[in-house]
Amino acid sequence: MAVDRALEPAGAIVAGVHQDHGGDELIRTMAPVITELKQMVSQRLNNSDLSAATAMALFRAHLAFAGATVWSLAEYEFEDGFYRVDCPHCSLGITIAIGSYVSGRAYTSRRG
């Protein structure tokens, strides 16, 4: 969709502005627009028919609009499987499943 092709570079632009130490004033000025873009990308991410590449591009844009620029600029090269990571805020160990491991509403949570 055209909106997807527009949201991806918009996210990259916002991530770049967040990286610029002189960009704080622009971020404050553009906050209403960034909020609207974040809402748009959130709505698109709820579409289960997105291709994996489009979903990843929109996810990165969402992170940029949320101000998480380090993660929005990271390269994600995941294979299907289980990944153990620590929460960056509390260091709690969590396991993330990538691929067809979760179906329906049967989600499980394990403390690492």
49 and 104 part of one domain:
no
CB atoms near residue 44 (< 10 Å): 18
58 and 9 part of one domain:
yes
101 and 84 part of one domain:
yes
62 and 15 part of one domain:
yes
26 and 50 part of one domain:
yes
Range(s) of the domain holding residue 17: 2-73
Number of domains in the chain: 2
82 and 29 part of one domain:
no
pTM: 0.61
Segments in the chain below pLDDT 70: 20, 70-80, 88, 98-112
25 and 60 part of one domain:
yes
Would you state the pLDDT for residue 37? 94
Q: How far apart are CA 64 and CA 13, in angstroms?
A: 9
